[in-house]
Amino acid sequence: MRIGVLALQGAVREHIRHIELSGHEGLPIKKVEQLNEIDGLILPGGESTTLRRLMSLYGFDKALADSDLPIFGTCAGLIVLAKDIVGEAGYLSKLDISVERNSFGRQVDSFESELVIKGVADDIEGVFIRAPHIAEVYGNAQILSEVEGKIVAVKQDQYLGVSFHPELTDDYRVTSYFIDEIVAKHKKASA
């Protein structure tokens, strides 16, 4: 399958590497026209205010609003996918969740934790960098993982969102799960 990584900001190359390790083709996406060439899209981490601004500037907000393309958001990408952002307006609103930014405290800007992720594995190393957490889940969003009592991974239909950075380790099982389970299922259903 062909999986795009939104290449406006963030760790694009690392995500492409995980896509390739999963046995699929990874493409950096810079223009909305390229969305027609892919089966799924990854929104990388970075800074979600900048990411939202760049996405609007290049028309990705409108293009994705009208699309049923499967999307995997990591960290800032999760914030972009959420229906509600605490204290701010939601953006793509694909996941029925509310997220809170920078919610693991000021002292610990980043930390790692071994995660149990439902349907994926029970030993995934999560790298959290000024990470958001999912404050509330409603509608059809399903909780896949929690750490310190905070929700850090959710899935809803063809959308997947995690608070951490899977691309920063050598373990590509979360990316494989997105492609081989979520994208594959969506492709089959819409064929």
Q: How many CB atoms lie within 10 A of CB 82?
A: 29
Q: How far apart are CA 166 and CA 5, in angstroms?
A: 14
Q: Is 35 in the site for ligand GLN (CB under 6 A)?
A: no
Q: Is 146 in the site for ligand GLN (CB under 6 A)?
A: no
136 catalytic per annotation: no
Point out which residues pair with 5 in neighbouring strands: 28, 42
Contact with ligand GLN (CB under 6 A) among 12, 26, 29, 48 = 48
The residue from 18, 75, 133, 186 that is catalytic is: 75
Contact with ligand GLN (CB under 6 A) among 8, 42, 64, 75 = 75
Minimum CB separation of residue 45 from ligand GLN in Å reads 3
Contact with ligand GLN (CB under 6 A) among 59, 62, 65, 102 = 102
Tokens representing 156?
Answer: 């809803």
Helix (H, G, I), strand (E, B) or coil at 45: coil
Annotated binding-site residue? 117: no
Using CB under 6 A as the binding criterion, the count of chain residues that bind ligand GLN stands at 12
Helical (H) or strand (E) element with 62? helix 60-65
Point out which residues pair with 85 in neighbouring strands: 88, 99
Minimum CB separation of residue 88 from ligand GLN in Å reads 10
CA distances from 97 to 71, 79, 137 (A): 15, 10, 4
Tokens representing 179?
Answer: 């492609």
Q: Is 76 in the site for ligand GLN (CB under 6 A)?
A: yes
Residue 119 and residue 181 in contact, taking contact as beta carbons nearer than 8 Å: yes
Helix (H, G, I), strand (E, B) or coil at 74: strand
Annotated binding-site residue? 90: no
Cβ nearer to ligand GLN, comparing 73 with 186 = 73
Q: Compute the C-alpha angle 159/77/171, nearest 5°.
A: 80
Contact with ligand GLN (CB under 6 A) among 20, 39, 47, 88 = 47
181 catalytic per annotation: no
15 catalytic per annotation: no
Active site residues: 75, 165, 167
Q: Binding site for L-glutamine: residue ranges? A: 46-48, 101, 129-130
Interacting residues toward ligand GLN by CB under 6 A: 45-48, 75-76, 79, 101-102, 129-130, 132
Q: Binding site: residue ranges? A: 46-48, 101, 129-130
